[in-house]
Amino acid sequence: MNGTLARYTKKFLAITAAGLLAMSAQAADPIRIGSFLSVTGPASFLGDPELKTLEMYVEKINEEGGVLGRQLELIHYDDAGNASKARNFASRLIRSDRVDIIVGGSTTGATMAAVPLIEQAQIPFISLAGATVITTPVKKWVFKTPQSDRMAAERILTDMESRGLTKIGLISGTGGFGSSGREQTLAVAKEMGNIEVVADETYGGSDTDMTAQLTNIRGADGVQTILNFGFGQGPAIVTRNYAQLSIDLPFYQSHGVASDGFLELAGDSAEGLRLPASPLLVPASLPDSDPQKPIVEAYKSEYEARWNAKVSTFGAYAYDGLMLAVEAIEKAGTTDKAAVRDALENIQGHVGVTGTYNMSADDHNGLTADSFRILEVQNGSWKLVN
Amino acid sequence: MAAARADPIMFSEFLQYLFTGITIGAIYALIALGFTLIYNASHVINFAQGEFLMIGGMATVSLTAMGVPMLLAIVLAVALAGLMGIALQRLAIAPAKDANVVTLIIITIGASIFIRGLAQLVWGKKYHVMPNFSGDEPIEVFGAVLNSQSLWVLGVGAVLVAVLVYFFTRTMTGKAILATSMNKDAARLVGIRTQMVLMLAFMVSALLGSIAGIVVAPITFTSYDIGIILGLKGFVAAAIGGLGSGVGAVVGGLALGVVEAMAAGYLSSDYKDAVAFSMILLVLFFMPRGLFGAKVVERV
């Protein structure tokens, strides 16, 4: 009896082992793209469209024959917006999944937690988070697709300057996005020289009325225009209070609220305000000569058809990340990590949804402030100004 | 710089801060009244008070989005909140009736987290807009502007306070609630059904909270988590005024709102919340029972 069992067990083990061998031989074939995203949790509005984008375009690329004749395999984890989880998953992607490249990191926190591991393991990494610190100073293996808030500040101040507005009243949220935007705005204004910030007010993330701050700004000496750097519902309340106080100075918001949801909240009050945004908000009004137009339109229609949900700027960061990775692997002709990294660093004129990427040894973002378009709210919808 | 400015401008600025402060203050006062009501009946501080506010606003928004006329939507939302108040008392507080007050307070914190989670599942995490009750055109007074909705907040607040005063001083049920708060055993001896009274207190407090939530929603927007910070500020207002005092709740709320707005205007918006919370420290340091708190006599 025991002998039979032992024989069966041996046979079973042999078959399993053979199967495992066959599987690992197959698994060596696809190009493994690793990802950790904040699909759930407080940053799910970033991670959810990012994951959907990665999934659908990996599928699409595979249907079209893959990259270098090999299929892509997406291995992804949900860090739920938690930086220490992000670090653990990055470690798992590197050590046990042995991925060829990582495209992920929805938030700056998650990205920066994973960066030391990635630098040590020497694996190319394209981050989907915005902060300047990710690529300044340049880290050998780290790249990112979104513009930084500094570029948004540059874009806004340049537009103000071109309208002859040089005295700014600044109001910003005290959250991470708002306070970083405030610092960058002050820094850029100082650099440009002719722009002066004459009022500098803040509001808390859950404040429900910013009339007092706006009244203060309105009373500031010689103020010509007002800029709000913030995220969430705060900027919508600022916009409404602005209209209630009937302040008639030109009004700017940041890219943090460049979404249709903001227009819904702010309603008529948003009329006439300007902000820097991705061309994804206004694909139809881009001129035909714009090289980004076909890519933006295709991404928008494919995403909306597949997921039956509105496309978001954040999903576009993942689209650009994946396409940059694919181009780098194709250019390198191999998945050798150092070769792919070198290819990534040498990408020139890669037209994405967010902008046109020109990477270099000292710029691992590859975008300029011009990749932001200035939009104005007219009759309740976005209108491309320049 | 301020001295160089002409006087009329300074006055209109001051008026603007005052309007802002009174509007926010009226919101805090309404929430504080909800705390007061339940505290009076049971000595429990109901930390789910902010959630009643949220239910009122969110239910109204989602019902109007479904095509229900605004007025009916408001009535239904208030009724829903009333039911939630009863359910909270029946399902969470009543089963623990022998527990001490601290335990009951912790139960209300748990209930608030549960209600918020439920709201997040049903309504999602997005912020929602509710239109002003009567037009978006602001009202101008001496160079300062007032949102027309602020008048609604003040008006509804005043009516609710009047109704509550009448309820507690002139009706049998109101007196029964007061009697229960003063001495539960004695109240039971004279034939007051104290559990019933408690349920009633939770229901009225939920109605109050939801009405506050509905009138403020056009100003603050509404979302599943709007109750956290407004609830907290309402509690601060109630504590400043003296827990259990209706007048205290109103005065505390208005004072908190005005101090916040003045601090944001004349000091710095960064210190706005710090000033408000220092105020509670100061008041409680010199008047531990709050501005209008009842003197406590320890019974041995």
Burial of A107 (0-12, 13-18, 19+ CB in 10 A): buried
Most confident of the ranges A94-103, A173-182, A228-237, B282-291: A94-103
Residue with tokens 């820097």: A276
- Give the mean pLDDT of B164-173: 87
pLDDT for A252-292, tens place per residue?
999 888 888 888 888 888 999 999 998 898 888 888 889 99
Model confidence at A160: pLDDT above 70: yes
pLDDT for A215-244, tens place per residue?
889 888 889 999 999 887 889 999 989 988
Percent of chain A surpassing pLDDT 90:
59
In a domain, B267, yes or no: yes
Q: Which helix (H) or strand (E) holds B78?
A: helix B70-87
Q: What are the structural domains, with CATH classification, of chain A? A: 27-148+294-371 (3.40.50.2300), 150-279 (3.40.50.2300)
Band the pLDDT of A18: cuts 50, 70, 90: low
- Any idea of the CA torsion for B106, B107, B113, B117, to the nearest 10 degrees? 170
Band the pLDDT of B196: cuts 50, 70, 90: confident
Residues 6 or more apart whose CB falls under 8 angstroms from that of A145 comprise A126, A127, A128, A317, A318, A320, A321, A324, A352, A354, A357, A365
Q: Which of these, A359, A211, A169, A384, lies nearest to A282 by C-alpha position?
A: A384
Residues of B in contact with A237 (CB under 8 A): 220-221
pLDDT value at position B129?
Answer: 85
pLDDT value at position A4?
Answer: 60
Based on the structure, what is the number of domains in chain B?
1
With an 8 Å Cβ cutoff, are B273 and A204 in contact? Answer: yes
pLDDT value at position B3?
Answer: 44
Residues of A in contact with B216 (CB under 8 A): 208
- Give the mean pLDDT of A156-163: 93
Q: Which of these, A197, A174, A176, A203, lies nearest to A185 by C-alpha position?
A: A197
Q: At what angle do helices B101-123 and B49-65 cross, to 10 degrees?
A: 20
Distance CA A330, CA A326 (A): 6
pLDDT value at position B198?
Answer: 86
Domain that holds residue B133: 14-286
Alpha-carbon distance B153 to nearest alpha carbon in chain A (angstroms) = 14
Secondary structure of chain A as H, E, C letters? CHHHHHHHHHHHHHHHHHHHHHHHHHHCCCEEEEEEECCCCCCHHHHHHHHHHHHHHHHHHHHCCCECCECEEEEEEECCCCHHHHHHHHHHHHHCCCCCEEEECCCHHHHHHHHHHHHHHCCCEEECCCCHHHCCCCCCCEEECCCCHHHHHHHHHHHHHHCCCCEEEEEEECCHHHHHHHHHHHHHHHHHCCCEEEEEEEECCCCCCCHHHHHHHHHCCCCCEEEEECCCCHHHHHHHHHHHCCCCCCEEECHHHCCHHHHHHHHHHHCCCEEEECHHHCHHHCCCCCCCHHHHHHHHHHHHHHHCCCCCHHHHHHHHHHHHHHHHHHHHCCCCHHHHHHHHHCCCCEECCCCEECCECCECCCCCHHHCEEEEEECCEEEECC
pLDDT value at position A206?
Answer: 74
- Which of A215, A240, A268 is the best substitution to test chain B (most B C-beta atoms within 10 A)? A215
Spell out where chain B has E strands: 139-141, 144-146
With an 8 Å Cβ cutoff, are B136 and A268 in contact? Answer: yes
With an 8 Å Cβ cutoff, are A265 and B127 in contact? Answer: yes
pLDDT value at position A187?
Answer: 93
Rg (CA), chain B: 20
Asked if B23 reaches chain A (Cβ–Cβ under 8 Å), the answer is yes
Alpha-carbon distance A164 to nearest alpha carbon in chain B (angstroms) = 25
Q: How many CB pairs under 8 A join A and B?
A: 77
Which of A204, A215, A264 minimises the CB distance to B13?
A215
Model confidence at A118: pLDDT above 90: yes
- Single-letter amino acid, residue B1: M
User: What's the mean per-residue pLDDT of chain B?
Assistant: 86
DSSP 8-class letter at B136? S
Least confident interval from A117-131, A315-329, B281-295: B281-295
Here the ipTM equals 0.74
pLDDT for B32-57, tens place per residue?
998 988 888 878 889 999 999 999 99
Which residue in B has a C-alpha nearest to residue A44's C-alpha?
A: B125
Band the pLDDT of B294: cuts 50, 70, 90: low
- Give the mean pLDDT of B142-151: 83
- Which of B22, B28, B125, B127 is the best substitution to test chain A (most A C-beta atoms within 10 A)? B127
CATH of the domain at B57: 1.10.3470
Residues of A in contact with B264 (CB under 8 A): 212-213, 216
Could you tell me which residue, A74 or B172, shows the higher pLDDT? Answer: A74
Tell me the CA end-to-end span of chain A in Å, nearest whole number: 83
Model confidence at A213: pLDDT above 80: yes
Six-digit token pair at A205?
């993330």
User: What's the mean per-residue pLDDT of chain A?
Assistant: 88
Six-digit token pair at A212?
């007092």
Could you tell me which residue, B60 or B275, shows the higher pLDDT? Answer: B60
pLDDT value at position A27?
Answer: 45
Residue with tokens 């902000």: A275
Asked if A158 reaches chain B (Cβ–Cβ under 8 Å), the answer is no
Residues 6 or more apart whose CB falls under 8 angstroms from that of B218 comprise B129, B130, B131, B132, B133, B149
pLDDT value at position A24?
Answer: 46
Model confidence at A38: pLDDT above 50: yes
Please identify among residues 167-226 of chain A the ones whose CB lies closer than 8 Å to any CB of chain B: 174, 201-204, 206-209, 211-213, 215-216, 219, 221
Asked if A245 reaches chain B (Cβ–Cβ under 8 Å), the answer is yes
In a domain, B298, yes or no: no
With an 8 Å Cβ cutoff, are A245 and B219 in contact? Answer: no
In a domain, B175, yes or no: yes
CA atoms within 13 A on the CB side of A206: 13
Model confidence at A305: pLDDT above 90: yes
Asked if B297 reaches chain A (Cβ–Cβ under 8 Å), the answer is no
